[in-house]
Structure 1
Amino acid sequence: MKVINLHQPFEQNKIPAGKVVLAMGFFDGVHRGHQAVIAKARQRANELKLPLAVLTYDHHPSIVYTTTNQQQTYLSTLPRKLELLEQQGVDLTYVVSFTSALSELAPQQFVDDYLVRFHVAAAVAGFDHTYGPKETATMDKLIGYAQGRFEVIVVDSANDENIKISSTRIRETLDDGQIIAANKLFGYQYQTTGLVVHGEARGRTLGFPTANIDWPINEQIPHIGVYTVQLKIGDHWYNGMASIGHNVTFGDARPKTLEINLFDFNQAIYGENVVVRWISWLRDEVKYTTVENLVLQLKQDEIDSRTIFKNQK
């Protein structure tokens, strides 16, 4: 998949010649709703014998439009989003930097400056996609802005249990720790990244050594609790269980950490860039009265996790 990064205003010589079918969206998470849009675009591209292109953005538009004290987090950072788009069979992705200059474009100007200059034969997006002010830059108005220069294809909502699949819904599901439900909405098992760093090494004294994961602040991790996970180190995936929490058994007001115990594993992996694949929620974080009770629970967590992996196979 070819990736072209653009900044407003962009130079026309960066745009390949030839018509394309273009899917539009921010595509955070590239979940099943997004996949439906891309699949529709792929279908039309195949019919027209044209490449499939995607128009997306390097960060969320809300950064330009709103003021907030909260860190913006993503279901898929840009590298992960590009990886997922390539898995969907996209040939070309335009990554546009969402800036104040871009946000000030009127809908007609955006269509003229971007869609037309991208040589779009057909533009495809979800029914609620906007490309400017939500009052005027709607999909039902895009046909007028197109002025017959390209086809407009609107994709209906993709639903699960009669509720729209959306990035917002998935975020709420992750915030509740409902990993299996979130993975169903994603259409794949959720992944985050991180760096293995030194921790307190307490897990080793308990018989459950852990890899402490320093995760990027712009990636959304699930709710506090204990989970069945896999960890990718290099090219290999290893089964294990993860704890997100504050280690409340050992004191109050402790920092939030992500620690992963890998099964049948005994290697030093400090400094490794890793990927966490979230499989299933096991339980909430609990403050135990004794270390012995914590160890008993960890043994049960391992039994439960191994059973989950066995049943998956």
Structure 2
Amino acid sequence: MSRAGAGDLRSALLALAPDRPLGAVGARELVRASLVAVDCTWAARELELLGGAVTGRVFRDASGGATFPLRRAPWGEPLARPRAVCAVGAFDGAHRGHAALLGRARYEADARGAELAVVTFSPDPADVLAPGRPGDALLPPAVRQHAVMELSGADALVVLDFTPELAALPYERFVRGALDALVDLECPRRRARRARAGARLARRRGLHMGRARARAARRRRDRPRLPRRVGAREGFDVIGMELADEGGAPISATRVRSLVRAGRVEDAAGLLGRCHYVSGRVEHGRGEGTGFGFPTANVAVDESLCLPAEGVYAGFVAVGAMAWPAAINVGKPRSFSPGERDAAFLEATLLGFEGSLYGEEVSVVFARWLREPRSFASLEELERTVLGNVGWVRATLGERGVSLLGEGDS
């Protein structure tokens, strides 16, 4: 997921028009940069700490046969822990702000001669602490994990099950009983005193978190045991980073969600560093576009995911190694009466596709907002509008599928 030129992505999307088309190469690169690749070389092992109060999984690249040991093996034999810098966060969306934090953590790990371990949570802590919210995940949990691994270049990813029991843990107990069981965050003062001054940075470990997460820790009941104080006492650095800024406001998952829900997918893409997309299974739907001579895909999307506002968008539908330009309708069908409402749907009209997608898992990429939803006075008006949307997509994004395999891919 390339972040090159992410700051210019919003402008590039807004500039798309029939007289400034994307082209096949541009389409391929846009879709490839938007989708999160799933790396099958990462292997997982289960973990259980603090008497079962903390559970989860540790992911590490298994292509080289490496392992990420716990502090103590099940049979009680002590194991060496990796010397590591940790970055902690939910990382929903893996947006440009996360890229900045993880990039700083990677730099610190390299400077200290340590590994980088990214610690995240599943489900998102907000879903546990504030249940009943509308679907707002920018990425499904499993996809988010792969995005974080790709974005950070981490040596290991620790995914902790976020439960009420974990939420109730005092901060110091979480660090000492959970993080410290996985990686070497300690630096005994006796060893530090004997160390040469120039080696002090390398011997100290680091714990990175966004300012918002650090403030949340300070609001907890264990107020006197602030993250920095715990780190100072135990011999590791706690580095609270300010969120990356865009347009005078911090880049955050909350801000991205707000833009997506408002239909401002171009603005959201500028913060994400990629186009927003959702995945789902193609089901039998209304087939409205079929009557106009175009194949349509009715996509059932998990209700936990963040969908754009009702309306019509230009984008792509990706299946395997191919992607097709599409006019994407999100919302509830109004037919010819503003009072009629059926179940919510996501229906994409594909250009250049032949065959059947029923039962297939597809990814729908939102590149541009085209128009608000509306009711129509006649079938002729509906047909005219739909064909106009499809014509814009054809002239701007292309009229046939593009391969997502570039040079050197297979």
- TM-score (norm. length: structure 2): 0.70
Matched pairs, number: 309
Over 3 Å counting, the alpha-carbon distance change for 1:13 and 1:221 in structure 2 is farther
Contact 1:228 1:278 in 2 (8 A): yes
- Mark the CA change 1:263 to 1:40 in structure 2 (over 3 Å): closer, same or farther: same
Indicate how the Cα distance of structure 1 residues 152 and 280 shifts in structure 2: closer, same or farther if over 3 A, else same. same
Distance in 1 of aligned mates of 2:80 and 2:92: 25
Q: 1:233 aligns with which of 300, 304, 319?
A: 319
Q: Is it true that 1:298 corresponds to 2:398 in the alignment?
A: no
d(CA) in 2 for partners of 1:86, 1:201: 39
Bigger-Rg structure (1/2): 2
Counterpart pick for 2:123 among 59, 63, 70: 59
Are residues 48 and 155 of structure 1, via their aligned partners in 2, closer, same or farther at CA, if it must alter by over 3 Å? Answer: same
Cα deviation, residue 225, structure 1: 0.5
SS state at 1:305 partner: helix
Q: Which amino acid aligns with 1:302?
A: V
- Answer yes or no: is 1:253 the counterpart of 2:341: yes
* Bigger relative contact order, structure 1 or 2 (CA pairs below 8 A, ≥6 apart): 2
- Give unpaired runs (5+ residues) of structure 1: none
Task: Rate the CA distance shift 1:21–1:4 in 2: closer, same or farther, 3 A.
Answer: farther
Q: Is the 8 A contact 2:84 2:117 kept in 1?
A: yes
Letter of the structure 1 residue corresponding to residue 97 of structure 2: G
1:78-227 equivalent positions in 2, closer than 5 A: 78-88=141-151, 89-118=153-182, 119-120=184-185, 121-130=205-214, 133-136=217-220, 141-146=226-231, 147-227=233-313
Q: Which amino acid aligns with 2:282?
A: V
Structure 1 CA distance for aligned equivalents of residues 72 and 306 of structure 2: 37
> 1:93 is matched by which residue type in structure 2?
L
Q: Tell whether the 8 Å contact from 2:218 to 2:226 is kept in structure 1 after alignment.
A: no
* Distance in 1, Cα, partners of 2:149 & 2:259: 26
CA drift of 1:148 comes to 3.8
Task: Assess, with a 3 A threshold, how the Cα gap between structure 1 residues 64 and 205 changes in structure 2: closer, same or farther.
Answer: closer
What is the Cα deviation at residue 203 of structure 1? 2.0
CA deviations 1:141-191 (Å, max 9, x no partner) are 312112142122221221111111111111110111000000001011112
DSSP-derived class of the 1:280 partner: strand
Q: Against the structure 1 CA distance between its residues 2 and 141, is the aligned structure 2 distance closer, same or farther, given a 3 Å change threshold?
A: farther
Q: Closer, same or farther in 2 for the Cα pair 1:157/1:131, shift >3 Å? A: closer
Q: Give the one of 361, 367, 371 matched to 1:283.
A: 371
Are the structure 2 counterparts of residues 5 and 241 from structure 1 closer, same or farther at C-alpha, using a change threshold of 3 Å?
farther
Question: Structure 2 regions of 5+ residues with no counterpart?
Answer: 1-41, 56-69, 74-78, 186-204, 403-410
Whether the 8 Å contact between 2:119 and 2:159 is mirrored in structure 1 is yes
- Shift of the alpha carbon at 1:307? 3.8
Which secondary structure state, in structure 1, belongs to the residue aligned with residue 348 of structure 2?
strand
| Equivalent-residue separation in structure 2 for 1:149 and 1:72 (angstroms) | 41
Instruction: Report if the CA contact (8 A) 1:228-1:280 is conserved.
Output: yes
Aligned pair in 2 of structure 1 residues 272, 164: CA closer, same or farther (>3 Å)? same
Residue 267 of structure 1 pairs with residue 355 of structure 2: yes
Gap change, CA 1:72 and 1:24, over 3 Å in 2: same
Secondary structure, in 3 states, of the residue corresponding to 1:193? strand
Single out whichever of 180-189 and 204-213 deviates more from structure 2: 204-213
- Residue 31 (structure 1) aligns with: 95
Q: Which position in structure 1 is the counterpart of 2:15?
A: none
The 4+ residue runs of structure 1 with deviation greater than 6 A are none
1:71 to 1:3, Cα distance in 2 relative to 1, 3 A? farther
> 1:307 & 1:230 partners in 2: Cα distance?
14
Establish whether residue 75 from structure 1 lines up as the match of residue 161 from structure 2: no
TM-score of the superposed pair, with normalisation by structure 1: 0.91
Worse-matched range after superposition: 190-199 or 99-108: 99-108
Larger displacement relative to structure 2 (171-180 or 86-95): 86-95
Q: Counterparts of 1:87 and 1:214 in 2: how far apart (Å)?
A: 27
What is the RMSD of the two structures over their aligned residues, measured on CA atoms? 2.4
What amino acid does structure 1 have at the position aligned with 2:363? V
Contact 2:284 2:358 in 1 (8 A): yes
Give the C-alpha shift of residue 76 in structure 1.
Answer: 1.2
Equivalents in 2 of 1:247, 1:265: separation in Å? 24
Check conservation: 1:6, 1:95, Cα contact below 8 A: no
Sort the Cα spacing of 1:74 and 1:5 in 2 relative to 1 into closer, same or farther, 3 A. Answer: farther
Q: What is the CA distance between 1:62 and its match in structure 2?
A: 2.9
Distance (Å, rounded) in 2 between the aligned partners of 1:38 and 1:2: 21
Residues 45-56 of structure 1 mapped to structure 2, 5 A cutoff:
45-56=109-120
Change (3 A) 1:123 1:294: same
Q: CA deviation at 1:296?
A: 1.3
Give the superposition deviation at 1:232. Answer: 1.2
8 Å Cα contact 2:315/2:327 also seen in 1: yes
Hey, what's the Cα distance between the residues in 2 that align with 1:160 and 1:4? 38
Q: Once the 2 structures are TM-superposed, how far is the Cα of residue 94 of structure 1 from its aligned partner?
A: 0.5
